[in-house]
């Protein structure tokens, strides 16, 4: 079969305009057509939402669609699917898995969540206890997961479970796709300091997962999970933002509109935070350029670490700047939101919710270790359990 030439920017503009010219009854119809036209992820293969084009050319498509006011897929609602599940399925999934999962994932018809962390295996994820035991063509899964964003809305989950307790902890893990509607899956809300239950704990009791829903080889789940985690950290910290975008935006707006709040000391601190926000934004742009040339590396951990630190410092500054107004929290109610909304809420919400940034997607302490070892080349911490069978580890 002859290879198609790599699309040029003008090719993509032409394809996008053709898509826009054809009427679609609903936003979902438009999104499906966009996927089928290869304009969802232009760097994905043809037939899977892409055209095999350089990743950087996605900006050409996005600009045309934004200018036309075309509907999007509400990426913050389906961020786990887009940023974590999709690249993992593309890299390790079978042809049948890619065909089944990628289109409804991208259009938002099916929401995804991540069943990784456990009560005793968060920072030490490889110590997880959830077991998957082979039973014919199925795996029977029992265990508990925690801090699961969007589990209450999700149809599918990416799941890692222990399939061999007789080998060292990193070697006995296998990666699965779990149907969240199956019997034995129970989702319970975890109420946060914001008053909401954005996170959940998930109990798995005798859940049957077909072997056809395994990603990667049996026992190779840790390697597959690393691909997910690398993409997750870029997805959290690497959003494309305009200058003065993100958490610094409402602070700068308040500073300009309320001169009575200004002091010389606050002025100096705001300037420092503005510069830090700009450095982080440009760092995210550099990581996206690296991704255009290949898979994300450990640099994404540095980006996510900077994002968490910046959000917490900026949100704390905003509360201090607003004085009494910053202490008000408008709606401390128990809801289970579909997505996190940092920018459509008040300063109190931003301050409280930003506390989670240094935990989700890898704790800041673990990310510092990754940067030290894999980016700076510093000696690794002593690990006495690397060659010990998981079943023999102290509990």
Burial of 351 (0-12, 13-18, 19+ CB in 10 A): buried
The residues that bridge with 118 in the sheet, in sequence order, are: 121
Residue 199 CB partners (closer than 8 Å, separation 6+): 146, 147, 148, 149, 189, 190, 192
Cβ-contact 382, 163 below 8 angstroms: no
Cβ-contact 85, 221 below 8 angstroms: no
Phi/psi at 137 (5° precision): -90, 5
283 three-class SS: helix
Cβ-contact 190, 145 below 8 angstroms: no
Cβ-contact 143, 161 below 8 angstroms: yes
Cβ-contact 215, 177 below 8 angstroms: yes
Phi/psi at 271 (5° precision): -60, -40
To which H or E segment does residue 203 belong? strand 199-210
Given 232, 244, 285, 338, the catalytic residue: 232
Residue 314: other Cβ atoms inside 10 A: 24
Query: Where are the strands (E) in 94-198, listed by range?
Result: 112-115, 131-135, 138-145, 156-162, 173-179, 185-190
In this structure, what is the dihedral angle of CA atoms 167, 171, 177, 179, given to the nearest 10 degrees?
Answer: 30
**Measured CA distances, 227 to 190, 259, 262, 296, 360 (Å):** 27, 47, 45, 8, 16
* CA–CA gap between residue 26 and residue 85 (Å, rounded): 26
**Measured CA distances, 322 to 175, 179, 216, 261 (Å):** 47, 45, 51, 7
Structure-token pair, residue 275: 């510069």
The residues that bridge with 131 in the sheet, in sequence order, are: 142, 162
Structure-token pair, residue 28: 């979902």
User: Is-catalytic flag, 232?
Assistant: yes
Find, among 36, 32, 1, the residue nearest to 15 by Cα. Answer: 36
Catalytic (active-site) positions: 232
């Amino acid at each position: 079969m002859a290879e198609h030439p790599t699309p040029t920017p003008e090719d993509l503009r032409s394809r996008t305009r053709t898509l826009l010219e054809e009427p679609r009854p609903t936003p979902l119809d438009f999104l499906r057509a966009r996927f089928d036209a290869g304009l969802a992820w232009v760097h994905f293969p043809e037939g899977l939402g892409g055209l095999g084009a350089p990743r950087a050319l996605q900006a050409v498509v996005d600009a045309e669609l934004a200018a036309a006011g075309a509907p999007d897929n509400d990426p913050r609602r389906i961020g786990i699917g887009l940023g974590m599940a999709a690249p993992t399925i593309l890299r390790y999934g079978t042809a049948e898995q890619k065909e089944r999962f990628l289109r409804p994932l991208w259009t938002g018809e099916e929401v995804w969540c991540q069943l990784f962390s456990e009560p005793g295996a968060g920072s030490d994820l490889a110590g997880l206890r959830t077991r998957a035991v082979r039973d014919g063509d199925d795996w029977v899964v029992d265990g508990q997961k925690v801090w699961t964003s969007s589990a209450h809305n999700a149809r599918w989950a990416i799941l890692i479970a222990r399939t061999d307790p007789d080998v060292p902890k990193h070697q006995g893990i296998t990666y699965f796709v779990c149907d969240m509607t199956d019997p034995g899956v129970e989702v319970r809300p975890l109420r946060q300091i914001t008053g909401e239950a954005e996170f959940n704990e998930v109990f798995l009791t005798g859940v049957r997962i077909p072997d056809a829903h395994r990603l990667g080889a049996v026992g190779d789940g840790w390697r597959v999970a690393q691909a997910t985690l690398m993409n997750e950290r870029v997805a959290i910290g690497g959003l494309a933002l305009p200058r003065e975008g993100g958490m610094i935006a409402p602070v700068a707006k308040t500073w300009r509109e309320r001169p009575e709040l200004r002091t010389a000391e606050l002025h100096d601190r705001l300037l420092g935070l503005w510069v830090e926000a700009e450095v982080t934004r440009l760092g995210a742009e550099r990581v996206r350029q690296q991704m255009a040339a290949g898979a994300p590396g450990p640099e994404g951990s540095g980006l996510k670490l900077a994002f968490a630190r910046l959000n917490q410092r900026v949100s704390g500054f905003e509360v201090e700047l607003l004085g009494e107004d910053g202490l008000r929290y408008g709606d401390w109610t128990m809801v289970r939101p579909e997505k996190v909304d940092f920018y459509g809420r008040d300063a109190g919400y931003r301050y409280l919710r930003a506390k989670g940034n240094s935990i989700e997607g890898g704790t800041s302490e673990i990310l510092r270790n990754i940067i030290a070892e894999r980016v700076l080349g510093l000696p690794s911490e002593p690990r006495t359990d690397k060659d010990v069978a998981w079943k023999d580890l102290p509990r």
